[in-house]
Amino acid sequence: MTVDEMRRELQRRLKKSRFAHSIGVANTAVALAKKFGADETKAYIAGLLHDCAREFENDELPAQAKLRGIEIGDVERAMPLLLHAYIGAQMITEIYGVDDAEISQAIYRHTVGAANMSTLDKIIYFADMIEPNRNYPGVENLRALVDEKSLDEIFLTALSESIIFVVQKNSLVHPATVAARNFLLLNKRE
């Protein structure tokens, strides 16, 4: 599929606001790839397709995960929405013909993160938080970091904000998010 065909297919499958969000993440990811040195085409495709599994309703996600041999952990069982990242990482090949391990990994990791994330992984995670349609208290502060900080400094702030957010909601903290943040702190370059 060409990128144009991917866009059309995605538009057909997602509701309007989710598609607009996807375009926002794709464009933001390209800008971040330019700034921090990642493949711009991969950034666009990963951003575009990162939420492709959101075509399923939340209550369909566990069955869709099982269908693909995805293991469902305790946190995912309690919050099935998280499964869209792992399902999406496979659907890009099934539906959109994208056979690229880096893009797939970035989509897999876009919601809860992981230890040792690649530049593309970090870009997609952060683009998802700051794309232009996002509107929540503090988003402007996160956007402003792009011109001031390194990608790792930005990503550390993003992870900390995510953890604070879920803790304040009394929600579960996914261990992968803690692993992502600890990895950054333990491997900080001076």
* Stretch near Fe ion under the rule CB under 5 A, chosen from 26-34, 44-52, 61-69, 116-124: 44-52
Smaller CB separation from Fe ion, 14 or 151: 14
**Minimum CB separation from Fe ion for residue 14, in Å?**
11
User: Residue 76, interface with Fe ion (CB under 5 A)?
Assistant: no
Among 7, 24, 51, 80, binds Fe ion (CB under 5 A): 51
- Closer CB to Fe ion, residue 171 or residue 188? 171
Q: In the numeric block, which tokens belong to residue 14?
A: 């997602």
d(C-alpha 99, C-alpha 163), whole Å: 32
Between CA 25 and CA 144, with CA 30 as vertex, the angle to 5 degrees is 75
Q: Which is nearer to Fe ion, 133 or 150 (CB)?
A: 133
Q: Which stretch binds Fe ion (CB under 5 A): 70-78, 123-131, 151-159, 169-177?
A: 123-131
**Least spacing, CB of residue 189 vs Fe ion, in Å:** 29
Whose CA is closest to 72, among 186, 174, 190? Answer: 174
Sequence-ordered list of residues with C-beta below 8 angstroms from that of 170, at least 6 positions apart, any chain: none
Residues 92, 52 contacting (CB under 8 angstroms): yes
Residues 124-163 that bind Fe ion (CB under 5 A): 128
The residues near 171 (Cβ < 8 Å, ≥ 6 apart) are: 79
Q: Which residues bind Fe ion (CB under 5 A)?
A: 51, 128
